C-alpha cells in the first residue's frame, strides 16, 4: 500500500512457524525451530523483517526466484510449491511446502494475522458497476450510525480516519488480512469491501467469511479475463456460497440478479427499482422508488417486508446511485441494524453523507459548463451516467472518453455507440494505452461511433490534456461535459509507466483558462 505505514507493522504478534506447519499439516525443508513470523507477503517491495515470503508461480516468472532478495529484506521463511523450493534451494531460507501457494495464502494469512478472532462486521459488494459507489455509501451510513469503519475499494483503503491509495480493486489475500489486522488495532467495527470477479478467481478473499454479500448488476466488461459473459458471471457466484458469506442481498435490476438468487446457497433477500429497470423481473423483497431528482441529490423511498420503509436522499445524480444506496441500507439491515434506527440517523443529517471520489464528480463552478469526471468504463456505466447528466443539462451534453489499452477490446465498439447515442458532441481521446498503440484504440472508437451515427459531431483529440480543453471550447453556459474513464485515478499508464495525472485538475485548469471561474 504505497504511502502507508507497512501493512504488517504492529499488526500481528509473532507466531511460531513450526506451529503453522503443524496445524496445517504441511511438509517443510530445513529446521523451523525457534522461527517466528509476524507477517505474510507476496512482494519483496512490501516485505518487512519477520515476514513469511510467499513464492507464487506467475505468467512469466516464479516468485521463488526472488527468495534471496526476500532473505536480504528480512524474510525468515519461504512458502512455495515444489518447483519454487527447487528454485530457492540456495537461498538458505527454511521452506514450507504447499501444492498451490496462492490457494494457501488466504488461510495462512488469516492464521498469521488472527483475523478470524474478534472480526469486525464484514460486508462484500460485487457486480460490474456500482461496487465502489455501494461500498462508499455503506461506509458513509455506518459512520452516520456512529461506528468506526473500514473500507477496501478500487479507489482507496480506509482504516478509521486513515486513507491509503489502492492498487487493486481487491488486494491480495495477504494484504487484505494485514489490512484487517490494522483495522482491528484501530477498533474498526464494520468494513465494506469491494470484491471483484478477479478477486474470487485469484483467491484474494480466501480466509474471509463475509457477514453480508451484495450483488449490484452484471454487464459487458472484463472479457479480457473471462472467455465470455457466462464465465464472467460464474466467477461471481462463489461469493454467495456458505464458505464465503452468511447472507446475501441481490439486486434484480439486471437480468443476472435472478440467476444469482437461484444459484445462491445462502439465504438471500432481493431488491429492485420500481418501475423495474429490467423487463420481466420477479417481485423483490425490497423496492426502491425514485421520488425526486435534483442536481445535488436523488431522493428515494425504500420499502420492505412488513410495511417497513424509509425516505432519504443520496448526494449524487441518477437512479442507479439511489439503487446503490438502497442496496447498502438493506445490506445493513441483513447485518443486524434496525431500519428505523438507520432512518433516524439519516434524517438527522438530512440524508446520506458520503463522498465518492471520481463517481460523477462535479469539478466545475457555478458559472459556465458543468464538468463531471467519472470512473465509468463500460457501456452500461456510460448509459446510466449519460442519462443522469442529460436530466440536468438544459443545453448540450458533450461526452469525452477513451478506452483502456491491454484490456477487454470487445466492449470498445459498444462503448462508442452508447457514448454517441447519449451525447450531442463526442470527443474521443486517450486513457491508459499501456502497451497498445493509442491511435489504434481511438480509431476503433471513432469508427464505431461514426458507423452507428454518421451525422454525429465527433472530434478525435490527443492527448487528453488537449481533449478536455477542446471539450471546454465547445461548451457554453448550460452545457455539460462528462469525462468518463479516469475518475479518481491520479496517473496514466503509458507503456508500463504510471505518469502522474489528474483528470479533475486538468478539467479545472481548462475551465480557468477558458475564463470560467471555479
* DSSP annotation string for 423-454: -SEEEE--S--BTS-HHHHHHHHHHHHHHH-T
Give pLDDT tens digits for 171-186. Answer: 899 999 999 999 999 9
Percent of the chain with pLDDT over 70: 96
The predicted structure's pLDDT at residue 377: 87
b/e per residue 291-301 (b: at least 16 CB within 10 A): eebeeebbbbb
CA 442, 445, 447 angle in degrees (round to 5)?
Answer: 105
pLDDT band at residue 48 under the 50/70/90 scheme:
very high
Residue 383 β-bridge partners? none
pLDDT band at residue 275 under the 50/70/90 scheme:
confident
Cell, residue 414 = 459498444
pLDDT band at residue 224 under the 50/70/90 scheme:
confident
In the predicted structure, residue 107 carries a pLDDT above the cut 90: yes
In the predicted structure, residue 6 carries a pLDDT above the cut 50: no
Domain 121-348 falls under CATH 3.40.1190.10: yes
Q: Annotated binding site for ATP: which residue ranges?
A: 127-133
**Residue range 350-363: average pLDDT?**
91
Burial of 367 (0-12, 13-18, 19+ CB in 10 A): exposed
Judge contact between 128 and 380, C-beta under 8 A. Answer: yes
Judge contact between 53 and 95, C-beta under 8 A. Answer: no
The predicted structure's pLDDT at residue 348: 97
Quote the mean pLDDT of the chain: 93
User: What's the Rg (C-alpha) of the chain?
Assistant: 24
Q: How far is CA 72 from CA 49, 77, 80, 87, 399, in A?
A: 9, 11, 18, 17, 51
In the predicted structure, residue 442 carries a pLDDT above the cut 80: yes
- Cβ neighbours of 234 (radius 10 Å): 16
In the predicted structure, residue 9 carries a pLDDT above the cut 60: no
Helix axes 339-348, 319-334, angle to 10 degrees: 130
Q: Give the residue carrying C-alpha cell 469539478.
A: 363
Closest by Cα among 386, 393, 419 to 475: 393
Cell, residue 93 = 531460507
Judge contact between 436 and 406, C-beta under 8 A. Answer: yes
514 vs 508: CA distance, rounded Å: 10
Closest by Cα among 366, 485, 359, 478 to 427: 485
Q: Looking at 334-409, which runs of residues are DSSP E strands?
A: 361-362, 370-374, 397-401
Cell, residue 298 = 436523488
Judge contact between 152 and 171, C-beta under 8 A. Answer: yes
Decide the pairing of beta strands 298-303 and 309-314: antiparallel
pLDDT band at residue 192 under the 50/70/90 scheme:
very high
Judge contact between 398 and 371, C-beta under 8 A. Answer: no
431 vs 359: CA distance, rounded Å: 16
454 vs 445: CA distance, rounded Å: 13
77 vs 90: CA distance, rounded Å: 13
b/e per residue 190-210 (b: at least 16 CB within 10 A): bbbbbbbbebbbbbbbbbbbb
In the predicted structure, residue 71 carries a pLDDT above the cut 50: yes
**Residue range 217-238: average pLDDT?**
88
- The H or E element that residue 360 is part of is none
Domain 361-513 falls under CATH 3.40.50.620: no
Topology (CATH) of 15-113: 3.40.1390
In the predicted structure, residue 196 carries a pLDDT above the cut 50: yes
Give pLDDT tens digits for 383-400. Answer: 989 999 999 999 999 999
Give pLDDT tens digits for 306-340. Answer: 999 999 999 999 999 999 999 999 999 999 999 99
Q: Annotated binding site: which residue ranges?
A: 42, 44, 127-133, 169-170, 196, 204
**Residue range 441-453: average pLDDT?**
97
Cell, residue 105 = 495464502
**Residue range 44-52: average pLDDT?**
94
Residue 94 has phi, psi (to 5 degrees) of -65, 145
Q: Give the residue carrying C-alpha cell 491509495.
A: 165
Closest by Cα among 308, 361, 298, 355 to 332: 308
In the predicted structure, residue 189 carries a pLDDT above the cut 70: yes
**Which of residues 228 and 11 earns the better pLDDT score?**
228
Percent of the chain with pLDDT over 90: 84
pLDDT band at residue 518 under the 50/70/90 scheme:
low
The predicted structure's pLDDT at residue 447: 98
**Residue range 35-46: average pLDDT?**
94
- Of 59-63, 246-250, 360-364, 432-436, the range with the highest mean pLDDT is 246-250
In the predicted structure, residue 5 carries a pLDDT above the cut 80: no
In the predicted structure, residue 378 carries a pLDDT above the cut 70: yes
Give pLDDT tens digits for 457-502. Answer: 999 999 999 999 999 999 999 999 999 999 888 889 999 899 999 9
The predicted structure's pLDDT at residue 36: 97
Residue boundaries of the structural domains of the chain:
15-113, 121-348, 361-513
Query: Phi-psi region for residue 368, left (φ > 0), alpha (ψ -120 to 50) or beta?
Result: left
The predicted structure's pLDDT at residue 226: 86
CA 480, 320, 331 angle in degrees (round to 5)?
Answer: 145
Amino acid at each position: 500500500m504505497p504511502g502507508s505505514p507497512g501493512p504488517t507493522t504492529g499488526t500481528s504478534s509473532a507466531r511460531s512457524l513450526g506451529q503453522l506447519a503443524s496445524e496445517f499439516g504441511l511438509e517443510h525443508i530445513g529446521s523451523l525451530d525457534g522461527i517466528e513470523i509476524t507477517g505474510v507477503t507476496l512482494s519483496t517491495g512490501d516485505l518487512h523483517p519477520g515476514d513469511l515470503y510467499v513464492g507464487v508461480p506467475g505468467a512469466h516468472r516464479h516468485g521463488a526466484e526472488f527468495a534471496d532478495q526476500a532473505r536480504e529484506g528480512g524474510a525468515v521463511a519461504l512458502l512455495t510449491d515444489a518447483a519454487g523450493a527447487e528454485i530457492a534451494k540456495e537461498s538458505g531460507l527454511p521452506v514450507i511446502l504447499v501444492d498451490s501457494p496462492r490457494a494457501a495464502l488466504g488461510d495462512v494469512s488469516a492464521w498469521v494475522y488472527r483475523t478470524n478472532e474478534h472480526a469486525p462486521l464484514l460486508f462484500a459488494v460485487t457486480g460490474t458497476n456500482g461496487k465502489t459507489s455501494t461500498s462508499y455509501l455503506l461506509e458513509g451510513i455506518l459512520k452516520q450510525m456512529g461506528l468506526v469503519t473500514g473500507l477496501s475499494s478500487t479507489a482507496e483503503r480506509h482504516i478509521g480516519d486513515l486513507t491509503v491509495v489502492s492498487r487493486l480493486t481487491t488486494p491480495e489475500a495477504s494484504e487484505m488480512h494485514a489490512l484487517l489486522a490494522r483495522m482491528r488495532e484501530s477498533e474498526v467495527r464494520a468494513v465494506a469491501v469491494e470484491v471483484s470477479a478477479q478477486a474470487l478467481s485469484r483467491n484474494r478473499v480466501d480466509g474471509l467469511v463475509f457477514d453480508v454479500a451484495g450483488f449490484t448488476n452484471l454487464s459487458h466488461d472484463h472479457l479480457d479475463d473471462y472467455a465470455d459473459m457466462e464465465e464472467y458471471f460464474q466467477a461471481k457466484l462463489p461469493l454467495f456460497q456458505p464458505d464465503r458469506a452468511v447472507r446475501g442481498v441481490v439486486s434484480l435490476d439486471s437480468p443476472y440478479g435472478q440467476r444469482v438468487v437461484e444459484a445462491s446457497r445462502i439465504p438471500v433477500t432481493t431488491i429492485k427499482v420500481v418501475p423495474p429497470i429490467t423487463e420481466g423481473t420477479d417481485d423483490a423483497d425490497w423496492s426502491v422508488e425514485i421520488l425526486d431528482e435534483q442536481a445535488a441529490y436523488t431522493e428515494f423511498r425504500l420499502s420492505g417486508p412488513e410495511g417497513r420503509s424509509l425516505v432519504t436522499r443520496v448526494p449524487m445524480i441518477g437512479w442507479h446511485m439511489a439503487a446503490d444506496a438502497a442496496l447498502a441500507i438493506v445490506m445493513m439491515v441483513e447485518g443486524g441494524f434496525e431500519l428505523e434506527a438507520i432512518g433516524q440517523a439519516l434524517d438527522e443529517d438530512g440524508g446520506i453523507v458520503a463522498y465518492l471520489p471520481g463517481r460523477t464528480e462535479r469539478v466545475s463552478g457555478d458559472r459556465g459548463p458543468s464538468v463531471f469526471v467519472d470512473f465509468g468504463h463500460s457501456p452500461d456505466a456510460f448509459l446510466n451516467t449519460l442519462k443522469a447528466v442529460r436530466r440536468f443539462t438544459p443545453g448540450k451534453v458533450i461526452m469525452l472518453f477513451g478506452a483502456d489499452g491491454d484490456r477487454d477490446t470487445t466492449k470498445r465498439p459498444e462503448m462508442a455507440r452508447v457514448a454517441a447515442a447519449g451525447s450531442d458532441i463526442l470527443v474521443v481521446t486517450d486513457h491508459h494505452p499501456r502497451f497498445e498503440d493509442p491511435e489504434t484504440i481511438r480509431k476503433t472508437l471513432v469508427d464505431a461511433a461514426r458507423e452507428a451515427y454518421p451525422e454525429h459531431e465527433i472530434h478525435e483529440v490527443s492527448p487528453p490534456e488537449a481533449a478536455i480543453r477542446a471539450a471546454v471550447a465547445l461548451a457554453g453556459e448550460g452545457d455539460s461535459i462528462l469525462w468518463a474513464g479516469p475518475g479518481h485515478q491520479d496517473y496514466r499508464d503509458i507503456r508500463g509507466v504510471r505518469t502522474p495525472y489528474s483528470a479533475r485538475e486538468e478539467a479545472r485548469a481548462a475551465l480557468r483558462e477558458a475564463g470560467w471561474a471555479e
